[in-house]
Amino acid sequence: MSEDSISVIVVTVPDQFDPRALDPLSQFRLDGKVALVTGASSGLGVRFAKVLHAVGAQVAISARRADRLEALAAEKAKLICAVAVGVFDAF
């Protein structure tokens, strides 16, 4: 390329700019979605519930320990419901 060469770059800009287009994490948003997390009274279940809530999902949580579920539900207002459940051998 000589010093006399000229480069032209044409950029098309949309009429309305969507700021989410520049956010690489926007494709991982869960707004309008519902997630069910079992085992949400401790450990990974609590963490999954919090992460899903943070990315916009409404989260239903379930586990055996009702007191811990209620504490998590009170902490995160967007949680749909907390349901204490247990699986028992019926035979």
User: Looking at the whole model, is its pTM more than 0.85?
Assistant: no
Q: What is the pLDDT of residues 15-73, one digit of tens each?
A: 676 666 677 777 788 999 999 999 998 999 999 999 999 888 889 999 989 899 888 88
Residue 68: beta bridge partners?
A: none
Starting at the edge strand found earlier in the chain, the sheet holding 81-84 runs 34-38, 58-63, 81-84
Taking alpha carbons only, the member of 82, 19, 21 closest to residue 53 is 82
